[in-house]
Amino acid sequence: MDLLAHYVRIHLTGAAAGLELFGRGADLHDPEARATTARIRHELVEERDWLRGLVKRLGSTEPTLAQVTAKLGERLGRLKPNGHLLHRTPLTDVIDLESMHDALSGKVAGWKALLEVEGLEEERDALERLLAQGQRQIEQVTDLHRVAARRAWSAT
């Protein structure tokens, strides 16, 4: 398998974990945060589908086992301590939003890297759109994080 196909498969694996992570947005305390992360998750599904198409156009296959492992790893990551065993706290929201921010940053870096690949000229418009969308998503999650942090620190 060539390096480009392998790289895209890595990001497709990350997309699986990202979808799991953003699925947790439904548990956030703030209704606006729940709505925003649901909207971003919907966009992530579309992005994952685009990546699936790119993998096929590159003549490769989906990394099924890696995707399942990534989903499981994300779920295990939910076991992080938050000071309470059985329920979410305001700190849980802060940590989850930080994880979402990190996931989006990795995705944006991927779009930027793919824009540097010679031979993907026919994908350029889609990649530029995906990059702009990812940057907007980061800004939205950053704003949600700021609100969650303010709430968490005022709760102490």
Tell me the per-residue pLDDT of 112-142, one tens digit each, with 9 for 90 and over.
999 999 989 999 999 999 999 999 999 999 9
Q: What mean pLDDT is predicted for residues 49-57?
A: 94
For residues 116-151, b (16+ Cβ closer than 10 Å) or e, as one string? eeeebeebeebbeebbebbeebbebbeebbebbbeb
Q: Per-residue confidence at 155, pLDDT binned at 50, 70, 90?
A: confident
Question: Residue 126 corresponds to which tokens in the numbers above?
Answer: 């889609």
For residue 137, give the nearest of 109, 98, 89, 104 by alpha carbon.
Answer: 104
Task: Give the type of residue at 78.
Answer: R
- Kindly report the average pLDDT of the chain as a whole number: 87
- Which pairs with CB-CB distance under 8 Å and at least 24 residues apart come from 56-61? 58/2, 58/4, 58/5, 58/8, 59/5, 60/1, 60/5, 60/6, 60/8, 60/9
SS3 46: helix
Classify domain 3-154 at the CATH topology level. Ferritin (1.20.1260)
pLDDT tens digit sequence for 4-49: 988 998 898 889 889 989 998 999 999 999 999 999 999 999 999 9
- Determine the pLDDT at residue 156: 63
Residues 130 and 150: beta-carbon distance below 8 Å:
no
What are the E-state strand segments in the chain?
none
Instruction: Give pLDDT, residue 110.
Output: 97
Among 134, 120, 127, residue whose Cα is nearest residue 50: 127
Residue 66, pLDDT score: 46
Between 75 and 12, where is the model more confident?
12
Predicted confidence at residue 89, as pLDDT, reads 81
**Structural domain spans, the chain:** 3-154
Angle formed at CA 114 by CA 13 and CA 137, multiple of 5 degrees: 65
